[in-house]
Amino acid sequence: KLKKEQINILVVGLNNSGKSTIVNHFKNPEEKSLVTVPTVGFSVEKFQNQGVNFTAFDMSGAGRYRSLWEHHFKSSQGIVFVIDSSDRMRLVVVKDELDTLLHHPDIVDRKVPILLFANKMDTPEALSSVKIAAALGLEKIKDKPWHISSSNALTGDGLQDGVQWLVQQIR
Ligand code: GDP
């Protein structure tokens, strides 16, 4: 059964985690950009695919642009949180950002589903999704549906399944 209502998905994560590559994967061919421009703090992507609106933001930039993505929490029915599995140094920053998101007034009391991509699973340094889940304390999230998927945004591995899970939680 096809439902036609639009849903808004917010894609967030640190710079270089793979957000642009991931959202590019879900674009129609004519929309795909050949180069991804680093755009710290600004909306990097906004497009629509089969009734799903994706908006992506970079969480880097020392929180200077925080209000830009937090502004979208209210109108988002699902969140994709992208993690560079090979970037062990910044895993603690990732945890801070995730905790801040989970406690935000526009998120904290809602059962908004959260999909985490443990991206760059193809790299030799990549931590497994299980290790990332433990490092981020995901087991403590009891009041929202969440799911962590390993992904390789370069080949698209894991992307469709992850987003399918998210859309199923919403529709
Ligand atoms: P963003 O800053 O979060 O939008 O990250 P980008 O999508 O621009 O990706 C940052 C860099 O990581 C680019 O050079 C991508 O080609 C690369 N990249 C993204 N996803 C993957 C992945 O799954 N595996 C590998 N090996 N590289 C990736």
C-alpha span between 85 and 24 (Å, rounded): 19
Name the residue among 38, 36, 83, 42 with its Cα closest to residue 66: 42
Query: Which tokens hold the place of 166?
Result: 């998210």
ipTM: 0.99
Choice from 11, 21, 123 to test ligand 1 binding pocket (greatest atom count within 8 A of CB): 21
pTM as predicted: 0.91
Residue with tokens 């992208």: 82
C-alpha span between 116 and 79 (Å, rounded): 8
DSSP letter at 68? Answer: H
In tens, the pLDDT along 108-157 reads 999 999 999 999 999 999 999 999 999 999 999 999 999 999 999 999 99
C-alpha span between 11 and 85 (Å, rounded): 16
Higher pLDDT, 99 or 65: 99
How far away, in angstroms, is 16 Cα from ligand 1 center?
A: 6
